[in-house]
């Protein structure tokens, strides 16, 4: 990447998002991060190319405000959209799980990615195209008992990505999904203190894959579902 471009990173203050945001800043991107939890802002150091905007992405007006900020600088056009907002749940089997659990997972994992991408696409189309990255999960290939709502919602993310890749290929917009295993964040370490973390997906490694997909180096990749795990 020679000229400065802008990436909109949702969930950019979280355990994974902070690593992604920091890596993009380090590699020359202007980054816009919507936030809702002030307590998470400490994960990000001040940077002249980092722009934080308070926005509830479930609110259409606030979402569009965040996207407009991302697209506001002609010298750094919006090119990357990184959808990291999502949620996880596991519990009893389907017949023992309230339907509201599925509704919540679809809302967090699918609707948010759909809405953010939908709002950003006109700006990508008006420019020189762009790259969208969404988070699915390796569990769509290797599901686990008790995870039906979560896995179904993430499978829908993968289907969304594959469809968008076809719809916008002629416009120079690439869309890809990542399939991490458990991500090594403080929250997951606290939730699973006795787990073997050897193969957990590392935030810094995920960040580098995302940077590749957003960059011109990833120009040949679209519609892909890319496993991201840790080896070694």
Among 25-29, 37-41, 107-111, which stretch is predicted with the lowest mean pLDDT?
Answer: 37-41
Task: Write down the pLDDT at residue 231.
Answer: 62
| Mean pLDDT taken over the chain | 93
pLDDT surpasses 80 at 157: yes
Distance of alpha carbon 189 from alpha carbon 9, whole angstroms: 23
pLDDT above 70 (res 1): no
Name residue 51's beta-bridge partners: 32
Q: Where does the pLDDT of residue 19 fall: very low under 50, low under 70, confident under 90, or very high at 90 and above?
A: very high
CB of 7 closer than 8 Å to CB of 24 = yes
Give tens-digit pLDDT for 176-189: 999 998 777 777 67
CA distance 201 to 231: 9
Strand partners, 34: 53
Partners of residue 227 on adjacent β-strands = 179
Mean pLDDT of 191-209: 81
Residues in contact with 156: Cβ distance below 8 Å, sequence separation at least 6, in sequence order: 106, 109, 110
* pTM, two decimal places: 0.93
Least confidently predicted of 83-92, 160-169, 212-221: 83-92
User: Is 232's pLDDT higher than 60?
Assistant: no
d(CA 2, CA 223): 25
CATH 3.40.50.720, applies to 6-228: yes
Q: Which residues contact 93 (CB under 8 A, 6 or more apart)?
A: 145, 146, 148
**Lateral strand order in the sheet of 78-83:** 50-54, 30-35, 6-10, 78-83, 130-135, 173-180, 225-228
Residue 221 has pLDDT above 90, yes or no: yes
Instruction: Supply 158's token pair.
Output: 């993968």
Q: List the single range of 26-40, 87-101, 196-210 with lowest mean pLDDT.
A: 196-210
């Amino acid at each position: 990447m020679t000229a400065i471009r802008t990436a909109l990173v949702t969930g950019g203050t979280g355990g994974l998002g902070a690593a992604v945001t920091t890596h993009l800043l380090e590699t020359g991107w202007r980054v816009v991060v919507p936030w809702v939890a002030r307590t998470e802002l400490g994960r990000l150091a001040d940077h002249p190319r980092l722009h934080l905007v308070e926005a509830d992405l479930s609110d259409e007006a606030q979402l569009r405000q965040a996207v407009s900020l991302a697209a506001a600088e002609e010298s750094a056009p919006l090119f990357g959209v990184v959808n990291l907002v999502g949620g996880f749940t596991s519990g009893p089997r389907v017949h023992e799980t309230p339907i509201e659990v599925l509704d919540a997972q679809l809302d967090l994992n699918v609707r948010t990615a759909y809405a953010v991408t939908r709002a950003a696409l006109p700006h990508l189309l008006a420019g020189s195209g762009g790259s969208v990255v969404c988070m699915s999960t390796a569990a769509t290939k290797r599901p686990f008992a008790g995870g039906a709502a979560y896995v179904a919602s993430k499978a829908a993310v993968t289907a969304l990505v594959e469809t968008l890749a076809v719809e916008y290929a002629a416009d120079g917009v690439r869309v890809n999904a990542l399939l991490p295993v458990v991500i090594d964040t403080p929250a997951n370490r606290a939730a699973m203190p006795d787990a073997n973390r050897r193969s957990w997906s590392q935030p810094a490694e995920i960040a580098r894959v995302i940077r590749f997909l957003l960059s011109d180096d990833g120009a040949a990749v679209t519609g892909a579902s890319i496993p991201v795990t840790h080896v070694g």
